Structure formats: C-alpha cells, structure tokens
Chains A and B, each alone.
Chain A
Amino acid sequence: MRRGRDWRPQLRAAGLALPLVAFVGVTFVAPLATMFSRSVYDAVVADALPETLALLEGWDGESVPGEEVFAAAARELMRAQEERVIGQVAGRVNRVQGGMRSIVAVTGRRLAAAPDGSWRETFVGIDPAWGEAGTWHALRTAGERYTSRHYLAAVDLRRLPDGSIARQEEDRRIYLRLFARTFLVSLSITGLCLLFGYPLAHFIAHAPPRRAGLLLALVLVPFWTSLLVRTTSWIVLLQGQGVINDILVALRLVSDDGRLALIYNMTGTFVAMTHVLLPFMVLPLYSVMRGIPRSHMDAAASLGAGPAQGFLRVYWPQTLPGVGAGSLLVFILAIGYYITPALVGGSTGQLISNMVAYHMQTSLNWGLASALGAIILACVIGLYLLYERLAGTEGVRVA
C-alpha cells in the first residue's frame, strides 16, 4: 500500500518559524492593522446617535426633518452629554462642516428633559442652524461608520456636506505639496548619496586589502554610531554659533552678524540626512564592486577602449545591481524619515512623517495620521518589493 507524502519535515520547519511569526504578528502586524482600521472606520457619531441616523435614512434631504427626528436627536444628544462623549461627537461633526462643534456642544448643554413647545422649536431656539437642511446633511455624513474622509484629506480633497467631492480650500492644501516635497527631497538625497558614494565605494573596493579594511571602517563607524549622536554633531557644526559659522567668521568670509542659517531649515535636513544615509549607499555598492575582477577593465583596455569607454561599457553596467539596491534602500529610508527632520528641520525642513507625528501627538487627528501612514507604508512596500527583486533578501544585510 502506498503511503501519502511525508509532511513531517515541512511541519518541523514551519513549527520552528511559528513562534516568531506569532510574535511578530501580535507585537507588530496587529498594531499596524488596528491603526489602519482607524483610518477608514470611525463610529463615534454612529454609536452616539443611532436612532436619529436611522430616522434620517427616510429623510428627503431638502426640507427640514420632521418632529420625530428632532425628538430622537434631543434624547440622544442629552445622553451623549451625560456620558461625556458630546465633545467627541461635536468634533467629528465639525470635521464635516466647520462651525458645527459649538452648535452641537451648546445644544447638548442647553437641552432640557422637556421641550419648549415642540422639539423643533427648542432646537431652532438654541441655534437657528438646526432649521437648515445643511446641518442635518453634516450630521448624516458624520454618522457613516466607514469613511474615506481621512484618505481624501490626506490628498487635499474633502467631501462637501451634500456628499460630492471637492478640492480642499486653497490655504488648507498642504499634504500633496508635502508628499511632493518628501519625494523630491528623498530623490535628491539619493542622487547626492550616489554622487558621493559611487567613487568612494569604487576606491575602497579596489584598494589593497589592508587599506580597504581601514577605509571601510571609516564608513562603518558613522553607520554604527547612534543617530542622535550624528544629529547632535550637525547641530554643533551648523548652528549660528556653531563650528562652521565660527570658521567662516574667523576667515572673514561672513561678518559676525551675517552668520549663515545652516540649520533648522531645509539645508539642515538635507545635510544631516545625506550624512546619515550615505553608508547605506556605499555598502551595497562596495559589495558589488568587490566582485568585479580587475581583469575586465584590463580586457577592455587591451581591446582598445579608453578609460571612459571601458568604464561606461564594461564597469558601470556590472555595478547596476548595486546602484539599484543602494538607491532604493536610501530612497526607502528617506521617504519615511522622521528623527532628523524633527530635530534639525525647523519649520521649513519637515517631511511627511513629521506630519504623522504631528497628528498623533498634537492635533490628535488619529484617523488622518493613520491614513497618511498607510499611504507612506504602501509606497515603501512597493519600493521594497522592487528592492527585493534586485537584491534578494540577502541584500538587506547591512554592514
């Protein structure tokens, strides 16, 4: 009798990996997943005003809703007031339509157990806005559990109270510009790293072994040094009373009160990020270049190619995997960069990640922070898949 395929080796291998898969799943992937659910799901209003929202389903959308809607809204707003969630409800409605925060909050505070005449008259008495259809549109929109609003906001769009999508007002369009800036800055830093890193990697890769080891150490020491230390160094060097400005003043290149603003702006972000990311370009280039035998260039020369032609037609094509891997690695790290711009970028040197931090910690607009984070992560994953194809997971090996 033939036995089935023996699955034990597969089970054994999978069993070894299982604890880590479970660990990473719980401590890392699950937190990301719950955060991203926050970017599309928001039930504050839906949970606070279920009956009102159900009644609004049957509303024609043009006239002012009927008395039973007002009565339900009164009950539920008073309950929200009692349970102290009225502030969250008001904030949520306010994001649909500006000015609604105080209308909802004041109404919640002033409603009493019995109406003054009809509920409708009571509401309109507190704020005439309740007599307009637009207010109820805003309430209905805010009551949707699933919302695309954070993603719309993340690309400078908004939903009008009547449900149509429009561009954000001129002075509130910030994210697309910030995405574009982050993209451009990352691209320029990648270019700079390639410009500085390629000749250096070439030099180290073809130096005699002893000297190569020493030179490589000069790349690896910064690589292993704490990021905060490296950022501190740039503050020491670049600030107004810093080392570079002192030297320039001593050389009389700039006057003492004309010291250059080299930090707390885009210049600071640029210089410090290039410094931090340069080793990530040099190391993959170095490992590719080391594998290119000198005999290839000798062969090119013996066949009559000049140094430039030999480089362009023989050497450069062989280094392309390293160029691709290094550039993608630097670019991936740059678009998600947070610490350095936060410390040396001032107000003009901020990137999109700093906006995620701002909405997490200061504005507390967590839905928007999650949506921005999801967009960044999608870009990073796409680029990473490209990187993996170029370099293999082995290429992730750093240092």
Chain B
Amino acid sequence: MHVAFCAAVLFFLMAPILVIVPLSFNAEPYFTFTEGMLRLDPEAWSLRWYQEIATSDVWRSALVNSLVIGAAATALATFLGTLAALGLSSPDMPARRFLMGFLVSPLVTPVIISAAGMFFFYSRMGLGQTHLGLILAHAALGTPFVVITVTATLTAYNTTLNRAAASLGAGPLRTFTRVQLPLIAPGVLSGALFAFATSFDEVVVVLFLGGVEQNTIPRQMWAGIREEISPAILAVATFLIVFAAALLLTVGWLRRRAAGTG
C-alpha cells in the first residue's frame, strides 16, 4: 500500500518529464502520439525537429546568449560569493545573521518582484536591453547559492591547516590558493553549478530586462509556448532534460568528494 502510493507519486514526478522525450521524435507537427508512433512505424518517428533546431539561427543565437550570460554571471557570482563566504565563516564576522539574510534576499524574493524592480533601475542606469545588465542581474540571483554552499563546505574545513601553512612560511594569498581552495573546491564548484543553472533557466528577468538581442533559450521557449507550439520545443526540452541529468550527476559526484575530504 505504502509502496504503491510512493510509486504513484514518483510516477507523477517523472512521467511528465519522460513523456517529452519520445514525443520530440514525432514526424508530424503534433504534440501527441500519432497512431503510427504507437505502432512503432519507423515512418512516424523522425529527427526533423532536432534538425530544425540545429539549423535554426534563432535557437543557435539563443544558445550562445544563454551560455555567454550564464558563464559571465556564474564567474562573477562565484568570485564574489566565495569571498563573502570566507568572511561569513570567520568567527570574527560582525553582524553575521543580518548579513546572511541580506545576501540570500535575492533567493527569497519572488522573481516577478525582482524583475519589476530591476526593470526600472536598470533602464535608468542605461543597462536595459544589454548583455551587461542581464549578466549583473543573473549574477545577483545566483550569489545566494554560492554563499550557502561554500559557507556549508567551510564549516567542515579544519582551520589549523591555515596556521600550519602560515608556520611553513606561506602568505595569506598563497595559503588560500594552495591549501584552502583545493580543499573547498567541490563546494565552490557546486555553488557555481547552481548559479549557472539559475541563469540558464531564468526567464522572467530576461523578459523584463532583455531586448531582441538578449534572446536566451528560456525566453525562446516562453515565446514558443505562448505563440505557436511546435515539437521543436520538445527537442529543446529533451536537450535540457539531458543537461539537467548531467548537472545532477556532477553535483552528486562533487558532494561525495566533499564528504570524502571533509
């Protein structure tokens, strides 16, 4: 009984995602299984939607924009977030609770409110409809993940190692890059992956701040869902599911590594 219920809940969680994959190979421009597909008629299955997105300029530029904005925002968020986490984990940090609340505020605020606020402010600063504006906005949304994961990793870090390095003649910078950073790297990396995933899947801020030049994959999907639904979206979705599974495996691997060294 319990097992059956849990199986049903897991089915509810996974089935909608899995149903997308076969449908993306539909030979017809429909969102549903055709009779041919159910008979496993090879004629009814095709790669035409994958071909369409691979040759489409719109999707290619969306991918480039997503990668450029995501990578730059992640780099910024990871650098600033790791630095701040080092400060926040120090026992000497003043007003830690307040600062932590301040720094995770982008995570807690509903994204429609963040996007609306950014819309006014960024346009007044001349950052509306620019890549830079989106990079800054996405970096702000991604920093809480870096702060949280790196702070959590640092609680397991043995600070006597820093003193050992210092006693052997290493300066603070050298201690950090040669001793501390390699040990907390799994935490930093999984924070960075969270930040990247946030940017890569973010659509509301892009809708408010971005122009035609800042078309990203989520924005293109949003337009596709709202306007004409073509199975090309399902092909993109399949690609994103594979991407999510890859991210999940990487983060899991990083976590096991962090647990092994912690």
- Residue numbers of A with Cβ under 8 A of B are 9-10, 12-21, 23-24, 27-36, 38, 196-197, 199-200, 203-204, 215, 217-222, 224-237, 239, 241-243, 246, 275, 278-279, 332, 335-339, 343, 353, 356-357, 360, 366, 369-370, 373, 376-377, 380-381, 384, 388, 393-394, 396-397, 399
Contacts and interface: CB of A to CB of B under 8 A. Distances in A.
- Which 8 pairs show the lowest CB-CB distances between chains A and B? A336-B110, A16-B87, A31-B121, A17-B87, A233-B16, A20-B84, A9-B92, A31-B117
Contacts of B226: 343
Nearest to A231: B225
A141 B229 CA distance: 48
Most buried by A among B2, B9, B103: B9
16 contacts: A9-B92, A16-B87, A20-B84, A24-B140, A27-B136, A199-B5, A221-B248, A222-B13, A225-B240, A227-B201, A234-B16, A370-B116, A373-B117, A376-B110, A380-B109, A396-B107
Most buried by B among A19, A20, A197: A20
A20 B80 contact: yes
A399 B13 CA distance: 15
Nearest to A197: B9
B181 interface: no
Most buried by B among A14, A229, A241, A376: A229
Nearest to B202: A227
A20 B112 contact: no
A13 B107 contact: no
B20 A229 contact: yes
A323 B76 CA distance: 35
A61 to B, nearest CB: 36
Q: Do most interface residues of chain A lie in helix, strand or loop, or is the interface mixed?
A: helix
A17 B88 contact: yes
B164 interface: no
Interface string B183-224: 000000000000001001101100010000000001001100
Contacts of B129: none
B122 A31 contact: yes
A68 B105 CA distance: 52
B148 interface: yes
B49 interface: no
Given A16-B86, A16-B87, A224 B31 contact: no
A329 B40 CA distance: 44
Given A32-B114, A224-B248, A241 B30 contact: yes
B244 interface: yes
Given A17-B93, A397-B152, A24 B10 contact: no
Given A12-B87, A36-B117, A200-B10, 16 more contacts: A14-B87, A16-B83, A19-B80, A19-B84, A31-B122, A200-B6, A221-B17, A226-B201, A236-B23, A246-B33, A343-B225, A353-B110, A356-B112, A356-B113, A373-B117, A376-B113
Contact of B83 (A19, A332, A393): A19
Contacts of A16: 83-84, 86-87, 90
Contacts of B33: 243, 246
Interface range, B side:
35 or more
B117 to A, nearest CB: 4
Contacts of A360: 116, 119, 208
A388 B98 CA distance: 12
Contacts of B203: 227-228, 339
A353 B204 CA distance: 12
Nearest to A384: B108
B71 interface: no
B187 to A, nearest CB: 11
A364 to B, nearest CB: 12
Contacts of A15: 87
A391 B50 CA distance: 44
Contact of B99 (A17, A275, A394): A17
B1 to A, nearest CB: 10
B215 to A, nearest CB: 14
Nearest to A366: B120
Contacts of B144: 396
A29 B99 CA distance: 13
Contacts of A278: 9, 12-13
B225 A275 contact: no
A48 B104 CA distance: 41
B92 to A, nearest CB: 4
A376 B237 CA distance: 31
